Structure 1
Amino acid sequence: MSLVERLNQDMKQAMRNKEKEKLTVIRMVKASLQNEAIKLGRGELSEEEELTVLSREVKQRKDSLHEFQEAGREDLVEKLNREIEILQAYMPKQLSEEELEQVVQETIAEVGASSKKDMGKVMSAIMPKVKGKADGSQVNKLVLKHLS
């Protein structure tokens, strides 16, 4: 089942259950997916493109979450945490710390990286492998740790 089909089913269920917050988040994601499809000039997005849009939505909320925490807006922090939780249900299973560590080590070996100068090569090789399964900043920290 595609992401859009799953979103449609969940949207209907959220309407039936009167879950306003979940319904709002699902509508926002659907709108983002439609906007991306229009931008690319296609009727449907590939799975990878859908994942990119979904990741962008999660990242935007995490960035906002950080800002709201610094500003002391606990009401908005709670709301964003719930939205992130709803969005995470549509993301692929996240890699564990050990799995991510292994992918980083394998990629460093593949690329033949030895110093921080090779950081760009390693990151460009590793990000497609972990797309949607790991946070970019987490990957960045691990790569830096291994190249130091």
Structure 2
Amino acid sequence: MTIRERILEDIKTAMKEKDNFKRDTLRLINSAIKQVEVDERVEMSDEKVLAILQTQIKRRIDSVEQYKKGGRDDLVQNEENEIKIICEYMPKQLSEDELRAEIEAIIYELGSGANIGTVMKIAKEKIGARSDGKSISDCAKKLLS
């Protein structure tokens, strides 16, 4: 079962269980997936769906920061709950040590030609949705300096 199929099934389940918050969150995610599908005229693979989910999580994290600055704790909680629901569809995230090991291996493969750009490009391809871009970038910068 693809991630998209799982999301659609979970929307149905949430409707049956009258879990409006989860239903609405999943509908927003499905809508974002459909929008990309229509705009790019492509069939959505799991990799593309994961990229969309990462973007949705990042947007919500940014919103949480803004709401905290504005003192809107009610909206902070709402966004954090949405993040939890979206994270259910993401692969297990790498720990700091695992991420460090992956990036060290990439740097070792590249040898003296390793720079942040090439390391990031290869790391994003190799690691994919198992870690966010910011974590990869921070780790790569530490290791390269």
Fold conserved between structures, TM > 0.5: yes
Q: Deviation of residue 84 (structure 1)?
A: 0.0
Q: Note if 1:14 corresponds to 2:14.
A: yes
TM superposition outliers: structure 1 runs of 4+ over 3 Å: none
Aligned partner of 2:138 among 118, 136, 141: 141
Does structure 2 retain, via aligned residues, the 8 Å contact 1:113–1:147? no
Unaligned runs of 5+ in 1: none
SS at match of 1:63: helix
Distance (Å, rounded) in 1 between the aligned partners of 2:112 and 2:137: 14
Q: 1:142 and 1:113, CA in 2 relative to 1: closer, same or farther beyond 3 A? A: farther
Q: Is the 8 A contact 1:113 1:122 kept in 2?
A: no
How many Å separate the matches in 2 of 1:11 and 1:84?
Answer: 16
* Cα distance per residue 1:48-88 (max 9 Å; x no partner): 11111111111111111111112221111100000000000
Q: Which amino acid aligns with 2:120?
A: M
Match runs of 1:4-83 below 5 Å = 4-42=4-42, 44-83=43-82
Distance 1:67 1:142 in 2: 25
Aligned-residue identity in percent: 34
Contact kept, 8 Å, 2:54 with 2:129, in 1: the verdict is yes
Distance in 1 (alpha carbons) for counterparts of 2:61 and 2:83: 8
- The whole-number CA distance in structure 2 between the counterparts of 1:5 and 1:89 is 14
Q: Which amino acid aligns with 1:50?
A: V
3-state SS of paired residue (1:112): helix
How many pairs were matched up? 145
1:105-148 CA distances to partner (integer Å, 9 max, x unpaired)? 00111122577xx1111111111122211121111111111111
CA distance in 1 between counterparts of 2:84 and 2:93 reads: 13
Give the AA of the match of 2:135: Q
Deviates further, 73-82 or 118-127: 118-127
TM score, norm. by length of structure 1: 0.92
The two structures, once aligned, show a CA RMSD in angstroms of: 1.4
Aligned amino acid, residue 134 of structure 2: S
Unaligned stretches of 5+ residues in structure 2: none
Contact residue 53 and residue 90 of structure 2 kept, 8 A: yes
TM-score, normalization by structure 2? 0.94
Deviation by residue 1:13-47 (Cα, 9 ceiling, x = unmatched): 111111111001100111111111111113x2111
Distance 2:32 2:101 in 1: 33
1:123 aligned to which of 98, 101, 120: 120
